[in-house]
Chain A
Amino acid sequence: MGCALLIPFTFGLPPVQGLLMLLGIFCGGIYGGSISGILIRTPGTPSAAAATLLDGYPLSQKGMAGKAIGMSTIASFCGGTTGAIIMTFLSPQIAKIGLKFGPPEFCALAVFGLGMIITISGRSILKGIISAIFGLMITTIGFDPLSGVPRFTFGSQNLLGGVTFVPALIGLFGYAQVFRNIEKILVLPPVKSKVENILPKFREIRSTLKTIFKSALMGTFIGSIPGTGCDVAAFITYGEAKRSSKHPEKFGTGILEGVAAPEAGNNAATGGAMIPMLTLGIPGDAVTAVLLGALTIHGLQPGPLLFRDHLDIIYPIFAGMIMAQFILLIVGLSGARVFARLINVDRRILTPIIFFLCVVGSYAMRFSFFDVGLSLIIGIIAYFMEYYGYPVSPILLALILGPMAEQNLRRSLIISHGDPLIFFTRPISTAFITLAVIVIITSYYRIKRAAEREAHRISIDRERDEKNEETEI
């Protein structure tokens, strides 16, 4: 939204300055969305920060909001810089891989992404899968993208375009948390942010560096595939970080690695998303589509010719992307202390204001009170789901990947006249499906083993406590 709003302001500026302004908003927006996600469990940037709040919000509830924001800033800087450097040096080569993606490859990618449900399901994988299928069912509401037939709209014009993503996101996380806060307002202890420990320690940063750079590389690659975006990158990198971690059971309880991975991934994806936009003229996601529009407004034609005819524009864009990461680091780290103080405001003041911001946020996307009502209903459902052990994050993942999975599954089957072997005869789709199977199986066993270890530890602790009590008696 920020980029779209600022396009008119760039008309009067020289092309380089105008484009750099939009790039700054793009990178800053993807990073900045995590701050509200960490503090109030409502991502400022639709979807990109949704994976960050899984560990960011529990961290802020432990009084470590500053540390979470600090880690998010450092990871965003490392991820964004890696993405920008890869974009600078490898754009044409990566763009060629992106061009090889057809419907079977996109479908396989969506299946790979949906495989991450296992890692974000929390205590019960079955309940996580149920949540994800529920989310996929929601994505079928509205016009069918292939035939144009309206589905499950019940005659409502407001549902023709489907369930809008932003109100759904606000309902799932924002409203659900507000309702929980109001319910527990007399019970919950006040959170005090430890402002003195604002930055993660060097030891903590060093321990996450491997995760950060792995997520950055993955994020750049995912971002460079047209049609995927920072949101997909964030979830896949979070899932991979949890899968490959020595202590996957700690993810979701508030650990710095859980903030670092999605933040590095989604900021690296900003550089990745620029690759097909600049080299082929294909936008990777909604924001790059706006940037593509801005390029044409300034009289530039994105595509291979841009690299031949307008190197005077291309090089400043590359340099600007890298510079934006440094500015993001300075602003983020200097502001972390101020942002973290927000959590110290009395809950009885803060909760009504967050409630109001949820109302405003769900209204502002389409200026629609229908969306506000829809968001409230989703919030109530999410509130009950969390009580009965159904995680809400898989719904969000399904909302992001559902349309991609459905359209490309059907397109592939139409191309192959119904033969599902099409997914196994093309190298990229076979690779993604194999990866998805490996990820699902290994995640399942690792998480199961970690849960058993945790249960064993708890039983040992309990036995020790009982023994101590007996000795005291």
Chain B
Amino acid sequence: MRRADIIVGTGLIILSAWFFWYASAYRKATIYYYGPNFFPQILSIMMSLCAVSLIVKAIRGDVLPQEDRIDPKGFIRMMVAIGMCIGYLLIMQVIGFAMGTCVFLFALMTFLGYRDLIKRIASSVVSSLIVWAVFRYFLIIPLPTGIFSFSF
């Protein structure tokens, strides 16, 4: 945690310096002294002060013990799931919301290791159809229809 705090603290100092500099461009935008740059610049000063205290505390060894660590295999699993979600958002534009959702849910359940095929199919089809029907007929929210003319 000590090294992480120093790295995060340094990152936050850079972020606040950039934020301060970027916000200074808004000063000319209005006639008020307390213009659009005022609040962001105050925040960046406060953030840099906190970041310095974080680094000082970390150097002194005053850090929290890390309660939990990222499991490398689990992290890869998570990244794959995010990739599947991005794929789902793209494929939804082609095959429509309901079908895209069915495919996504089925694929993710399979990827997470659920074995029962019937339950996988049933839960992915039922949950996507329920949400699709609520959105389409009750809330009347436009959803991607894809290439199918029947707006599924």
B61 within 8 A of A: no
Chain B residue nearest to A418 in the complex (CB): B33
Whether A179 lies near B30 (C-beta < 8 A) is: no
Whether A126 lies near B50 (C-beta < 8 A) is: yes
User: Given the complex of chains A and B, what is the CA–CA distance between A147 and B75 in angstroms?
Assistant: 44
B81 within 8 A of A: yes
A182 within 8 A of B: yes
Whether B78 lies near A133 (C-beta < 8 A) is: no
B118 within 8 A of A: no
Whether A133 lies near B47 (C-beta < 8 A) is: yes
Chain B residues closer than 8 Å to A179, beta-carbon distance: 78, 81-82
Whether A147 lies near B8 (C-beta < 8 A) is: no
Interface flags, A16-53, vs B, CB<8A=1, else 0: 00000000000000000000000000000000000000
**How far is the CB of B137 from the nearest CB of chain A, in Å?**
13
Whether A389 lies near B1 (C-beta < 8 A) is: yes
Whether A137 lies near B43 (C-beta < 8 A) is: yes
Q: A149-B29, A388-B8 are in contact. Are A182 and B77 (CB under 8 A)?
A: yes
Chain A residues closer than 8 Å to B95, beta-carbon distance: none
Whether A185 lies near B112 (C-beta < 8 A) is: yes
Chain B residue nearest to A180 in the complex (CB): B78
B141 within 8 A of A: yes
Whether A418 lies near B74 (C-beta < 8 A) is: no
Q: A146-B32, A183-B74 are in contact. Are A352 and B1 (CB under 8 A)?
A: no
Whether B71 lies near A184 (C-beta < 8 A) is: yes
Chain A residues closer than 8 Å to B136, beta-carbon distance: none
Whether A359 lies near B85 (C-beta < 8 A) is: yes
Chain A residue nearest to B68 in the complex (CB): A387
Interface flags, A121-159, vs B, CB<8A=1, else 0: 001101101100110110010001011010110000000
B94 within 8 A of A: no
User: Given the complex of chains A and B, what is the CA–CA distance between A409 and B19 in angstroms?
Assistant: 20
Chain A residue nearest to B139 in the complex (CB): A5
A376 within 8 A of B: yes
Whether A124 lies near B64 (C-beta < 8 A) is: yes
Question: At the interface, is chain A mostly helix, strand, loop or mixed?
Answer: helix
Whether A140 lies near B39 (C-beta < 8 A) is: yes
B145 within 8 A of A: no
Whether B127 lies near A182 (C-beta < 8 A) is: no
Say which residue of B35, B40, B74 sits within 8 Å of A187 (CB atoms).
B74
Most chain A CB neighbours (cut-off 10 Å) among B47, B105, B112: B112
Chain A residue nearest to B9 in the complex (CB): A130
A369 within 8 A of B: yes
**How far is the CB of B67 from the nearest CB of chain A, in Å?**
8
Whether A348 lies near B113 (C-beta < 8 A) is: yes
Whether B34 lies near A364 (C-beta < 8 A) is: no
Q: How large is the interface on B (under 10, 10 to 19, 20 to 34, 35 or more residues)?
A: 35 or more
Which residues 24-50 of B sit at the A interface, judged by CB distance below 8 A? Answer: 26, 29-30, 32-36, 38-40, 43-44, 46-47, 50
B54 within 8 A of A: yes
Question: At the interface, is chain B mostly helix, strand, loop or mixed?
Answer: helix
**How far is the CB of A102 from the nearest CB of chain B, in Å?**
16
Most chain A CB neighbours (cut-off 10 Å) among B29, B68, B74, B127: B74
Chain A residues closer than 8 Å to B78, beta-carbon distance: 179, 182-183, 383
Whether A356 lies near B101 (C-beta < 8 A) is: yes
A346 within 8 A of B: yes
Chain A residue nearest to B48 in the complex (CB): A133
Whether A133 lies near B43 (C-beta < 8 A) is: yes
Whether B36 lies near A356 (C-beta < 8 A) is: no
Chain B residues closer than 8 Å to A360, beta-carbon distance: 131, 135
Q: A136-B43, A182-B78, A356-B127 are in contact. Are A348 and B34 (CB under 8 A)?
A: no
Which residues 106-133 of B sit at the A interface, judged by CB distance below 8 A? Answer: 108-109, 112-114, 119-120, 123-124, 127-128, 131
Which residues 75-112 of B sit at the A interface, judged by CB distance below 8 A? Answer: 75, 77-78, 81-82, 85, 88-89, 101, 104-105, 108-109, 112
Chain B residues closer than 8 Å to A376, beta-carbon distance: 82, 85
Whether A353 lies near B123 (C-beta < 8 A) is: yes
**How far is the CB of B46 from the nearest CB of chain A, in Å?**
5
**How far is the CB of A365 from the nearest CB of chain B, in Å?**
10
Say which residue of A137, A369, A389 sits within 8 Å of B64 (CB atoms).
A389
Whether A147 lies near B29 (C-beta < 8 A) is: yes
User: Given the complex of chains A and B, what is the CA–CA distance between A455 and B89 in angstroms?
Assistant: 47
Chain A residues closer than 8 Å to B135, beta-carbon distance: 360, 364
**How far is the CB of A370 from the nearest CB of chain B, in Å?**
11
Which residues 51-65 of B sit at the A interface, judged by CB distance below 8 A? Answer: 51, 53-54, 57, 64
User: Given the complex of chains A and B, what is the CA–CA distance between A373 and B89 in angstroms?
Assistant: 9
Whether B34 lies near A413 (C-beta < 8 A) is: yes
Chain A residue nearest to B54 in the complex (CB): A126
Whether B112 lies near A149 (C-beta < 8 A) is: no
Interface flags, A177-205, vs B, CB<8A=1, else 0: 00100111111000000000000000000
Give the top 9 A-B pairs by smallest Cβ distance, nearest first: A183-B74, A348-B114, A352-B108, A144-B36, A147-B30, A348-B112, A149-B29, A406-B39, A149-B36
Listed A/B pairs (25) with beta-carbon separation below 8 Å: A126-B57, A130-B54, A133-B46, A133-B47, A136-B39, A137-B43, A137-B44, A144-B35, A149-B30, A149-B36, A152-B40, A183-B71, A185-B112, A187-B71, A348-B114, A355-B85, A355-B108, A356-B104, A359-B85, A372-B89, A376-B85, A387-B69, A387-B70, A388-B8, A410-B39
Q: 4 other contacts beyond A140-B43, A355-B108, A373-B89, with CB at 8 A cut-off?
A: A130-B50, A134-B47, A183-B78, A376-B82
